Amino acid sequence: MSDRPEKINLSDVHSRQVDTDLLNELRDLFVKAEEQKERYDFTWNGKAKAYFEAAAPTTKTLRAQPEESVNFEGSENLFITGDNLEALKLLQESYLGKIDMIYIDPPYNTGKDFVYQDNFKKTKKENDLSEGILDEEGDRLVKNEKSNGRYHSDWLTMIYPRLKLARNLLSDSGIIFVSIDENEIANLELLLTEIFGENNLAGTIVWDKRNPKGDSKGVSMQHEYIVAAAKNINIFSEFKEFKRPKKNAEIILNKSKEIFKKINDKFTLSDANEEYRKWINSKKDLSGGEKAYSKLDEKGNVYREVSMAAPDKPEKRSHRPLTHPLTGKQTSVPAKGWRYIDKTVLLQSFKSTIK
């Protein structure tokens, strides 16, 4: 039999073959889609159960343990031991809408620890026994692959009510951080999108563990993540901000404040700048970028001098003479012009004039 496909004369209507069964299946599919108003949806086996689990009231109570506490009467801290789902439900009574930040570190669902069926406390072997995957002697009856669909669904069913209740606890400017790795990062982001809203996702912090597994079949899995979601990103942005001081920043700022406080009739701002410059240049543990902040202004703020000259493309830069805001004299224009285009320089000059 030849490997070459049979030639079909498209001008001959009798030579065209149509799979009527396939056409009928496609027709039925489109009819059903229209009837169901088909749309994008994130769902899994057990989602309804997880939804009702989040809404179900708790039958538990919190019991104080003064004998295991430190300064029980005066402490403002609360440490709860127990099932975290029940604890989240109990906290709704007193802390609804009052928490500014939540951090959780849920199981990563690697498939090697335990699964989350029923009370979410069964070991994998116990769960396999209940489902008939292992017999009483422990002999495996069915190969239990991680990709069989159970792992992700059970994890989602477990984490959904916890995230739902956690959101209820957050204040309008509150935010939650969730640690996770590659096993469930995709599902976690979809779940946070559903619970918090896509516009309220506040970003993902990536942690490079730098210890990739040597037996990886593809790209090494060496990252973990912290996914952030705000109750309301607009309100969060108005009152809060993500801020991490640069390395050695606190040391530099403390020293600058110490020197600036010495200013008096005999110790001028110029003297303070000289002492601060000598100190920062003597610090061998500071980077070149950190040492560049070698100036103090009249308010004691640390700053660095930045050249306003254009580094390249002089034909696109402004060559407009500028008036110095303090001396009132015109400054000389750099050979390649200013760093900015003429429109920007003119606008900034106008703003300086009307201040």
**8: pLDDT strictly greater than 90:** no
Helix (H, G, I), strand (E, B) or coil at 151: helix
Residues 91 and 142 both lie in one domain: yes
- Residue 343 confidence (pLDDT): 63
User: Is residue 135 within 8 Å of 62, Cβ to Cβ?
Assistant: no
Residues 115 and 159 both lie in one domain: yes
329 found inside a domain: yes
CB-side neighbour CA atoms (13 Å) of 255: 19
* Residue 334 CB contacts under 8 Å (≥ 6 apart), including other chains: 308, 309, 310
- Residue 186 confidence (pLDDT): 94
Q: Which amino acid is at 215?
A: D
| Model confidence, pTM | 0.58
Residues 169 and 233 both lie in one domain: yes
Residues 86 and 152 both lie in one domain: yes
Q: What domain range includes position 260?
A: 249-303
Residues 147 and 269 both lie in one domain: no
Of residues 134 and 20, which shows the higher confidence score? Answer: 20
Helix (H, G, I), strand (E, B) or coil at 23: helix
Of residues 34 and 256, which shows the higher confidence score? Answer: 256
Q: For the segment 96-141, what is each residue's pLDDT rounded down to a tens digit?
A: 999 999 999 998 887 764 444 434 444 555 555 444 444 444 443 3
* Residue 35 CB contacts under 8 Å (≥ 6 apart), including other chains: none
Residues 296 and 320 both lie in one domain: no
Residues 122 and 176 both lie in one domain: yes
**221: pLDDT strictly greater than 80:** no
Of residues 23 and 76, which shows the higher confidence score? Answer: 76
pLDDT-above-90 percentage for the chain = 34
pLDDT-above-70 percentage for the chain = 69
Residues 264 and 297 both lie in one domain: yes
For helices 269-282 and 249-260, the axis angle rounded to 10 degrees is 150
Alpha carbons 292 and 81: distance in angstroms, whole number: 50
Of residues 185 and 215, which shows the higher confidence score? Answer: 185
**203: pLDDT strictly greater than 90:** yes
- Residue 209 confidence (pLDDT): 75
**226: pLDDT strictly greater than 90:** yes
Of residues 325 and 155, which shows the higher confidence score? Answer: 155
Give the mean pLDDT of the chain: 78
C-alpha distances in Å from residue 250, one per residue of 5, 209, 253, 255: 75, 26, 5, 9
* Residue 227 CB contacts under 8 Å (≥ 6 apart), including other chains: 177, 178, 180, 185, 188, 189, 192, 201, 204, 205
- Out of 61-70, 72-81, 198-207, 220-229, the most confident range is 198-207
pLDDT average, residue stretch 193-205: 95
- Residue 179 confidence (pLDDT): 95
Q: For the segment 256-302, what is each residue's pLDDT rounded down to a tens digit?
A: 999 999 999 999 999 999 999 999 999 988 888 888 999 999 999 99
* Residue 108 CB contacts under 8 Å (≥ 6 apart), including other chains: 180, 181, 183, 184
In this structure, of 35-49, 175-189, 325-339, the range with the lowest mean pLDDT score is 325-339
C-alpha distances in Å from residue 355, one per residue of 325, 326, 345, 350: 11, 13, 16, 9
Among 117, 104, 108, CA closest to 165: 104
Q: Compute how many other C-beta atoms are within 10 angstroms of the C-beta atom of residue 151.
A: 20
- Residue 146 confidence (pLDDT): 61
Q: Read out DSSP for 191-235?
A: HHHHHH-GGGEEEEEEEE-S---TT-SSS---EEEEEEEESSHHH
Among 228, 268, 271, 276, CA closest to 251: 276
Residues 201 and 273 both lie in one domain: no
Alpha carbons 188 and 227: distance in angstroms, whole number: 8
User: Is residue 275 within 8 Å of 288, Cβ to Cβ?
Assistant: no
- Residue 243 confidence (pLDDT): 76
Looking at the 3D structure of the chain, how many domains does it have? 3
